[in-house]
């Protein structure tokens, strides 16, 4: 095969891989779904704005691993797991569920305040019908609902912990440090009903430990089923080797006591380094620019030009 032909094959593979990756993450093969375009609208810088900890953490590639870690950790609360088992369509439409979660995360991070509030309201309405019963770690049957303060707190804590821990391993500096990120993202938690969200790295660690000390976390068949799905999601065959590395990196980042409940072991291979290499490759494929951040900056630039930009509330 000639070098020209080899080059065409390589470009074809890269373009195909990039397109599928963009569809997986955003539901759009250009990486810019319609809702991203609306971020150029609005009358303020949003809850955080340029230079904030949230922009730094959620604009980085480490979010790809953070999402895996957050999903794994969420399964350990039997109430949260019951809600996923009873109500989630992750088996039938896993990528749809993923893109919906990404839409909320990105909108609250980069959009104007009004749009972020509307998106959080959409998520709240979807969760309003989620309710049922589950058996807790002590064998007691309990009722649950998506608005249960304990479940909301658990999901927020493990989400914040996952994104912070992943950024520490594979991201760059955080403006204001870990405390700034936890404090800022408490705002996102409050938008969906979280009460008493942690506002410092120490508070985040304390709240996560409190769930363990209370004995509410557990493994079991449902957890094992969810872990199997997260380990082997229905991705394109060419993406699976890269995903497996990121999955192993996510597992390696989880403290050992939680890995045991999940039935997972840390790989003996240098998966933290390998995950960093994969994220670097993804950065090359997708480009350094974030369509969401670009849209937010276009909005802010428009407002600055008009002399009407309002400062962010979280940074």
DSSP state of 32: -
**What is the CB-side half-sphere exposure of residue 140 using CA atoms within 13 A?**
6
Domain range for 125 is 48-306
At residue 154 the predicted structure's pLDDT band, cuts being 50, 70 and 90, is very high
Q: What gap in Å lies between CA 12 and CA 6, rounded to an integer?
A: 10
Q: Could you give the 3-state DSSP secondary structure of residue 111?
A: coil
Count Cβ atoms below 10 Å from residue 237 Cβ, excluding itself.
6
10: in domain? no
Confidence of residue 313 (pLDDT cuts 50, 70, 90): very low
What does pTM read for this prediction?
0.86
User: pLDDT, tens digit, for every residue of 267-276?
Assistant: 999 999 999 9
- Identify whether 5 is part of a domain: no
- Return the axis-axis angle of helices 271-286 and 149-170, rounded to nearest 10°: 90
pLDDT digits (tens, 9 = 90+) for 213-251: 988 899 988 899 889 988 988 877 878 898 999 999 999
| Residue 179 CB partners (closer than 8 Å, separation 6+) | 199, 200, 201
Whole-angstrom distance, CA of residue 98 vs CA of residue 260: 26
DSSP state of 311: P
Query: Given pLDDT bands bounded at 50, 70 and 90, which one contains residue 8?
Result: very low
Q: What is the mean pLDDT of the chain?
A: 83
Residue 257 located in a structural domain: yes
b vs e for 188-199, b when ≥16 Cβ sit within 10 Å of the residue's Cβ?
Answer: bbebbbbeebbe
Kindly state the tokens that stand for 166: 């992943």
- For residue 185, the surrounding DSSP H or E stretch is helix 177-191
> Is residue 219 a contact partner of residue 263, using CB atoms and an 8 Å limit?
yes
Whose structure tokens read 């937010």?
296
pLDDT score recorded for residue 102: 80
Is residue 7 pLDDT above 70, yes or no? no
Question: Predicted confidence band at 1 (pLDDT cuts at 50, 70, 90)?
Answer: very low
Domain assignment present for residue 27? The answer is no
Tokens 């072991």 appear where? 265
Beta-bridge partner residues of 134: 142
Please give the structure tokens belonging to residue 105: 């995360």
Assess if residue 205 is contained within a domain.
yes
Asked whether residue 12 is domain-assigned, the answer is: no
pLDDT digits (tens, 9 = 90+) for 50-105: 999 999 999 888 988 998 999 999 999 998 888 776 656 556 555 555 666 788 88
By the 10 Å C-beta count (0-12 exposed, 13-18 middle, 19+ buried), 57 is classed as buried
Is 312 a member of any domain? no
298, part of any domain: yes
């Amino acid at each position: 095969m000639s070098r020209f032909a080899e080059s065409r094959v390589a470009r074809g593979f890269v373009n195909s891989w990039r397109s599928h990756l963009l569809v997986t993450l955003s539901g759009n093969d250009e990486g810019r779904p319609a809702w991203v375009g609306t971020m150029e609208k609005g009358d303020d810088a949003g809850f955080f704005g340029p230079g904030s900890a949230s922009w730094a953490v959620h604009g980085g590639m480490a979010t790809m691993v953070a999402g895996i870690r957050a999903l794994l950790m969420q399964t350990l609360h039997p109430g949260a797991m019951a809600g996923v088992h009873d109500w989630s369509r992750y088996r039938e439409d896993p990528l749809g569920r993923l893109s919906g979660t990404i839409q909320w995360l990105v909108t609250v991070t980069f959009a104007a305040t009004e749009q972020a509030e509307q998106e959080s309201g959409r998520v709240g309405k979807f969760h309003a019908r989620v309710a049922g019963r589950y058996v807790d770690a002590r064998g007691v049957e309990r009722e649950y609902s998506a608005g249960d303060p304990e479940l909301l707190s658990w999901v927020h804590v493990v989400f914040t912990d996952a994104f912070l821990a992943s950024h520490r391993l594979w991201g760059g500096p955080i403006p204001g440090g870990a405390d700034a990120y936890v404090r800022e993202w408490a705002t996102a938690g409050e938008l969906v009903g979280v009460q008493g969200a942690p506002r410092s790295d120490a508070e985040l660690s304390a709240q996560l430990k409190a769930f363990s000390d209370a004995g509410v976390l557990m493994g079991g068949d449902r957890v094992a089923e969810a872990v199997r799905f997260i380990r082997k999601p229905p991705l394109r065959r060419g993406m699976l080797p890269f995903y497996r590395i990121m999955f192993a990196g996510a597992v390696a980042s989880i403290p050992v006591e939680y890995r045991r409940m999940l039935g997972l072991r840390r790989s003996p291979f240098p998966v933290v380094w390998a995950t960093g290499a994969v994220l670097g490759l993804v950065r090359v494929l997708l480009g350094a620019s974030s369509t969401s951040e670009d849209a937010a900056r276009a909005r802010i630039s428009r407002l600055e030009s008009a002399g009407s930009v309002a400062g962010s509330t979280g940074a």
